[in-house]
Structure 1
């Protein structure tokens, strides 16, 4: 069988007041202050809103409003790593980037929804390594300072240190940036906090075949037995009613494979979902794809049909995501601060 498969580091306008002082010590202090101000003025920061909202989602809109409120430079028309690097090179203007922020949806397993190249593959460790090997990405010019920071606002990306290491290499120019990403969910425009972190928990069922909230809550109980969360209430709650309250939302995850066979006799019939799941279990390549997603094969709704020498298999699962805002241990009414240099909540490379 063959298969084909940066709060914008404020750009300070310098108001130079000439002070005629007789003391050499005072002159030295004034000169030092001027040099420090010039150093700050020689740096810049930027936030890439590297995605767009679909349906009722407002994630990117909320993130943009948050960073605009902090007076960052916003770029909202670069949706690939290629475009981000090209923008940084073009807009450098002899100013080092002190912070580069990239806002993009994704997770620790699959990577980012950011494209590698324009209309290219989505960004994962392997796709990025392939791009670097084939020289498909522009080289970042000497645009960094010794203390430049590269911050990814992507939920749970901090768990994937291998991908972060490749990203660090990709953004290395005259200096290597310090790279930050949280191991938790990152959210914007909350009911009580504009930007906060949350613990995240997942449950699944075949799309359009919901088992009901009670049975779904039992799945969470079995999967996360040590968590002190009222799962049924969390499933029923769609936003925080009070600070720190767990809530949920749903989204679908599709799978689509086109498998070409060289011989008609090898074409499987796959008449129903059970036959499809059995076939997947018997084929290591596709079984591993499902295992790597961390979702049981039975949590997908499966369909298959033939097209010439191909069999097209489609699967779709509904993920129920429960978010528990992270609160300070010594003050349960205060949210954990989103300070990306805090290694308790952010991975730093």
Structure 2
């Protein structure tokens, strides 16, 4: 009988002990939850958004007009009317960078506008260094690599826009990339340019964009507007809205959207010194002989391929001075400009909106 009582007592003891462990297990989660709640309460922080201040847009007028053009003058007037800060007499990237460093006032540069001529064959009218080479991918990359181009110390952020107002610069992908590398400061800015031609001082709009079309002929040897209109029509068969003959005879926009033509020339010049050469100086007596000689020389042939203009479109001449052979070529470029107009509503130019990726390329 006593054994039975002992057994019952032992079982009751075990049950009580197990009950204590169960009770402890029930309390543990509650205790942990309290600690987590305390940690959350203690680690709460208040985020304060820092306000960024940008200074008024600054515009660099980087050239002087010829007697036949008013590109820079009209652009200057346009930006003055917008009450932007206009900087004259900055004709090189070096001068632009020096100005930006010197005039930084503690507020970040928001918009940096650069008005500069450009064509797809010769690069920009803007110099790389003062009295140095014009800005091309090669000249600018060299200046960056050698450290001869000043670096931007302060004022450039990821919100900075460097906007080039030029002719079809947005299509020059390599130059756009190099320009972006040049403008990198503490942060990387946005470099913006249009694949269209920037036009200032129009009769119907003070600033608009136009699509360019090109046709070529040897300098001072025009075949005539009829033949040129047929040639450019064959070159751009997808363009059905332009009367090419009329456009080649127009020098300005007669009404909103009216195509018209600009003219410029591209020169090529090489000098070869045969003073200490074992090679005999060639006798190039005709343009055909010069073109044959260029095609047979790998370096000259590659150089001309970059222009993407047929050799026969250049007027070629060669002269000899002592032991030097001088070869010159020159081509006339007729650029038909078709202003971009709104496809609906009143006849108006499309607004040059730099946020519109159909109008501007961004790097």
TM-score, normalised with respect to structure 2: 0.83
1:258 is aligned, of 239, 252, 271, to 271
Please give the residue correspondences for 1:26-175 in structure 2 after superposition, counting only pairs within 5 Å: 39-40=52-53, 42-175=54-187
Distance 2:316 2:222 in 1: 15
- The offset of 1:264, in angstroms, is 6.4
Q: Does 1:213 align with 2:225?
A: yes
Q: Summarize the Cα distance change of 1:145–1:44 in structure 2 as closer, same or farther, 3 Å threshold.
A: farther
Please give the residue correspondences for 1:186-335 in structure 2 after superposition, counting only pairs within 5 Å: 186-228=198-240, 229-261=242-274, 262-263=276-277, 265-331=279-345, 333-335=347-349
In the TM superposition, what whole-angstrom CA distance separates every residue of 1:206-245 from its partner, at most 9, and x where no partner exists? 1111111101111101111111111001001111111101
- The offset of 1:265, in angstroms, is 4.5
Residue 184 of structure 1 corresponds to 196
Q: Could you tell me whether the CA contact under 8 Å between 1:201 and 1:322 is conserved in 2? A: yes
Which segments of 5 or more consecutive residues in structure 1 lack a partner in the other structure?
A: 1-31
Q: Could you tell me whether the CA contact under 8 Å between 2:261 and 2:336 is conserved in 1? A: yes
Higher-Rg member (1/2)? 2
- The offset of 1:196, in angstroms, is 0.5
- The structure showing larger relative contact order (alpha-carbon pairs under 8 Å, at least 6 residues apart) is 1
Residue 30 of structure 2 corresponds to none
3-state SS of the aligned residue for 1:333?
Answer: coil
Aligned length: 313
Q: Could you tell me whether the CA contact under 8 Å between 2:56 and 2:84 is conserved in 1? A: no
Q: Does 1:347 align with 2:361?
A: yes
Q: Could you tell me whether the CA contact under 8 Å between 1:327 and 1:335 is conserved in 2? A: yes
3-state SS of the aligned residue for 2:233?
Answer: helix
Distance 2:133 2:356 in 1: 32
Distance 1:332 1:162 in 2: 38
- The offset of 1:332, in angstroms, is 6.7
- The offset of 1:113, in angstroms, is 1.4
Distance 2:264 2:120 in 1: 17
Q: Which runs of 4+ in 1 moved over 6 A?
A: none
In the TM superposition, what whole-angstrom CA distance separates every residue of 1:107-164 from its partner, at most 9, and x where no partner exists? 3443211111011111111111111111111111111234111001111111122211
Q: Summarize the Cα distance change of 1:158–1:332 in structure 2 as closer, same or farther, 3 Å threshold.
A: farther
- The offset of 1:201, in angstroms, is 0.5
Larger proportion of strand: 1
Larger proportion of helix: 2
Distance 1:205 1:172 in 2: 41
In the TM superposition, what whole-angstrom CA distance separates every residue of 1:72-127 from its partner, at most 9, and x where no partner exists? 11111110111100010011122211111111001344321111101111111111
Distance 1:217 1:64 in 2: 34
Distance 2:235 2:89 in 1: 40
Q: Could you tell me whether the CA contact under 8 Å between 1:187 and 1:195 is conserved in 2? A: yes
Distance 1:247 1:84 in 2: 33
